[in-house]
A and B are shown apart, each in its own frame.
Chain A
Amino acid sequence: MDDRVAALTAVIRYDSTLVDDPARLGRALCDVAPFDDSLRHASTLGASIGIPALIAGGRLDDAVARLRIRGGQRLDVALWTTRLWCEALSVELPFEFGATMPPDFDRLLPASPGTVERPPRDEPDSRTGRLPASATFVRACRLGDDVVVAVGTHAGLFAATCPASYAQPSEWVNVAAPSSPLSRDLVLLSESSTIVTAVWSSEKGVEQCVVRVAETGIGGAGPSVGDPSRLLQVVGAEPRYPLTASLTDERGIVDLTWTADRRELRRTTVDRRGSTSEPVVLPAACAKGERLIGLASTPASPATTWLVALTDRARVLLASWDKSVDQYSTWISAAAPVSNVVAVALTDVAGVGPVLFAATADRRLLCLELAPKLSEAWPWRSFGLPAGIPPGAQCTSLAVFPNEAENILLLVCAGVVWRVPVWVNSERASCGKASLFDQGAPQ
């Protein structure tokens, strides 16, 4: 045990951010103790399911339970792994450690998209407007001087509004409660300076509703959510995640790019009268066994649109859609300099053009300016690690919206939304300190 603690300690001293990046941690341990597979497996498993953060917070019994339930470890191995991390992180072990197991294992069950059915519909706490559950994804869209923010949780889809320069949202309002909400996605479309349309996938197809900013009874403002209506009916399949949508012109034609199996992407065009086109199957993005986890689009020109897909192998794929001839390019991998990208978002940055933002599981932020034509050169730039987010809080989602001279990134880290200002121009890419956005979200 001593040699193994020494090895893990040496790795953490070399670079403390390794605890947030299991793949890199595994490589570092391979350098320090190349022949110790047990140490590497136990440590990377622990890092991948957030054990260091639990231990740093003194929640040792939760750590053991999580190793057993999410890591599949036997009790004795889970105790061993917890003890290893405690000693490496210099956290004192209580005398009674490991004597009893926490009673509520259900609370620690993993939430994997597509496997969790909707629990009884939760409403936000009416006294505080707090989210009833941890966020899994975040979306954002400017609405005049405000921003509409939507999050997905296991309890459904929720929206809040907020002045674009502020980090304190209004009360959260339930937008929809589709079945299997963790397997759905939501997109916010800017219709005008007073209306945003929320579009989401559900067991009914693709649905939509209008979101406005309205005054609340106590003099504040919050979202006013219209009645939902079905935008697209899909027979024999359910749209899942990811989903993207764009308004093609002033007549309100919506182009939906959706998937029922997270592998094959289809586009359906819907006009305001509800007429839908035949679905167009996009060029294949996924390799064998690969699944999509993210999708985004933004106009490249009046006639072309950028599409970005992110896969569960952390591949960032780019394609362009020439609307004038309705032709898609093949997907090209924008070789990211990291192997743990978990979220992407697109926006048009003033003075720069379309920019792809990406976040890694260990909260590092990157960006890539999209040149008018696809090429083999990918000039990724790094914002580094925004200060203020606790170590061990793994990032799962990213949204972006413009705010005067800066852009605001919203990150979901460990179920909580964080707001990070970033600045991008031809000379530099930098980020400010992160601040907590959804103060009410429970940890």
Chain B
Amino acid sequence: MSDAPGLGGIQPVYLVIDASGSTALDNWIGRVNALLPALVEQLELADDRVTHEVRLSMLTFGTSAVVHMPLSATSAIEFIPAIQSGGFTSLSSAFHALAATIAEDASSLTADGYNVVPATACFVLQGLPTDPPDHLIEALAELEARIERGSLHAVCCAGTDPVALRGLGFTSPIYVGDTIDLSMLGASIARELVAAPRP
């Protein structure tokens, strides 16, 4: 955070990755680990096309959620720690953690004199959550106070119920089949996350 305040501001981008026990199935977590470098590369390319600076943070969740990688300039990311699977699929924990992280990051960036562009987030999901519905509703309401409607994206396993995903606040999920071109998938996600320059 030692850069001078940018002309076009900072766009925080959050990647929230399901690391629950079920991601061991079909080596989903291995494929996600393989996807991450391609995604960061595509975000870096996208960063060159927009006037604001894109910064990426990564959270993982199982029974609870943690910040796996703090908000960083995409060009400064040299090493992405591998994600291990385990725990239940508590999406409400991820919603709570993301809401808190967005608030903290925005506060820090603003205090440093940056103009903060509204955040976007992409959830990489292996399946639907294990939380009770009322926990999810409460957590989603907390998150929606921190992120604009339509800014929650999802990449998920083929066959995940699209209606349930919409109910969870995700728009236009990207479905991943058995075979994926990581570079193309990374580009698709980057396009969703880094839209046209915002004022």
**Inter-subunit contact A335/B132 (CB<8 Å):** no
Question: Is B77 located at the chain interface by the 8 A CB criterion?
Answer: no
A381-B137 in contact given A30-B22, A339-B161 (Cβ < 8 Å): yes
Residues of chain A lying within 8 A (CB to CB) of residue B161: 339
Asked if A18 is at the interface (CB within 8 A of a chain B CB), the reply is yes
- B137 contacts A382, CB within 8 Å? yes
Given contacts A333-B166, A364-B133, A381-B137, 15 further A-B contacts (CB under 8 A): A14-B130, A15-B130, A27-B127, A28-B130, A30-B22, A30-B25, A34-B24, A35-B24, A335-B166, A336-B163, A337-B164, A339-B128, A339-B163, A382-B133, A385-B132
- Tell me if A384 counts as interface (CB < 8 A to partner B): yes
Pair A364/B132 contact, Cβ less than 8 Å: yes
Whether A315 is near chain B, meaning CB under 8 Å from some CB there, is yes
Q: Of A31, A35, A381, A384, which one neighbours B89 at CB under 8 angstroms? A: A31
Kindly name the residue among B62, B87, B132, B149 whose own CB sees the greatest number of chain A CB atoms within 10 A.
B132
Determine the interface band of chain B, counting residues with CB < 8 A from chain A: 20 to 34
Task: Find out whether the CB atom of B132 lies under 8 angstroms from the CB atom of A337.
Answer: no
Give chain A residues whose Cβ lies under 8 Å from the Cβ of B127: 27, 30
Given contacts A27-B128, A31-B22, contact A380 B63 (CB under 8 A): no
A contact residues around B131 at 8 Å (CB): 15
- Please, could you name 30 A-B residue pairs with CB atoms under 8 Å apart, sorted by A? A14-B63, A14-B130, A15-B130, A15-B131, A17-B132, A24-B130, A27-B89, A28-B88, A31-B21, A31-B62, A33-B21, A34-B21, A34-B22, A34-B24, A315-B163, A333-B163, A335-B164, A336-B163, A336-B167, A337-B137, A337-B167, A337-B168, A338-B164, A339-B161, A364-B132, A364-B133, A380-B137, A380-B167, A382-B133, A385-B134
Which residues does B use to contact A, with CB under 8 Å?
A: 20-22, 24-25, 62-63, 87-89, 127-134, 136-138, 140, 149, 161, 163-164, 166-168
A31:B20 contact, CB within 8 angstroms: yes
Q: Which residues of B contact A385 (CB under 8 A)?
A: 132, 134
Flag A29-61 by CB within 8 Å of B: 1 or 0 each: 011111100000000000000000000000000
- Indicate if A360 sits at the interface (CB-CB under 8 A): yes
Q: Which residues in window 7-21 of A have CB below 8 A to B?
A: 14-15, 17-18
Interchain CB contact under 8 A, A27 and B134: no
B17 to chain A, nearest CB (A): 15
- Please give the distance in Å from B31's CB to the nearest CB on chain A: 15
Whole-angstrom distance from the CB of A375 to the nearest CB of chain B? 11
Q: Which residue in chain A gives the minimum CB-CB distance to B88?
A: A31
Q: Which A-chain residue is minimally distant from B24 (CB atoms)?
A: A34
Write out the residue numbers on chain A whose beta carbons fall within 8 Å of the beta carbon of B62: 31
CA–CA, A27 and B130, complex, Å: 6
Contact (Cβ within 8 A) A337 B163: no
Residues of chain B with a CB closer than 8 A to A364's CB:
132-134
- 7 tightest A-B contacts by CB? A31-B21, A335-B166, A382-B134, A335-B167, A30-B22, A337-B167, A338-B133
A382 to B139, CA, bound (A): 12
Q: Decide: A337 and B21 in contact? CB cutoff 8 A.
A: no
Interfacial chain B residues near A336, Cβ < 8 Å? 163, 167
Q: For residue B87, which residue of chain A has the nearest CB? A: A31
- In the bound complex, do residue B129 and residue A27 qualify as a contact, i.e. CB atoms below 8 Å apart? yes
Please name all residues of chain B whose beta carbon is closer than 8 Å to the beta carbon of A384 when the two chains form the complex: 134
